[in-house]
Amino acid sequence: MNILITADLHVDLWAHAGHDPFSGIVPVLRGLDALITAGDLANDPHRNWP
């Protein structure tokens, strides 16, 4: 089983900078059985993700 564990992605900061944090690892993502995201997805999701 292929599992990728990520943490503290802060996707709002990537989006604000105009970048996709996963763009460089698309082949890896395609081969995964599970993606575990531990930690923060955004600094302030209620404010930064309308």
**Alpha helices in 1-50, H assignment, sequence order:** 11-16, 26-30, 45-48
Query: Please, are residues 45 and 12 in contact by the beta-carbon 8 Å criterion?
Result: yes
Contacts of 22 (CB under 8 A, 6+ apart): 29
Residue 44 in domain: no
pLDDT at 49 over 80: no
The per-residue pLDDT for 50 is: 65
Residue 13 in domain: yes
Residue 24 in domain: yes
Residue 12 in domain: yes
Mean pLDDT, residues 37-48 taken together: 82
Q: Which domain holds residue 12?
A: 3-36
In the chain, how many domains are there? Answer: 1
Residue 15 in domain: yes
Residue 47 in domain: no
Tell whether pTM > 0.85: no
Which 3 state secondary structure label does DSSP give 37?
A: strand
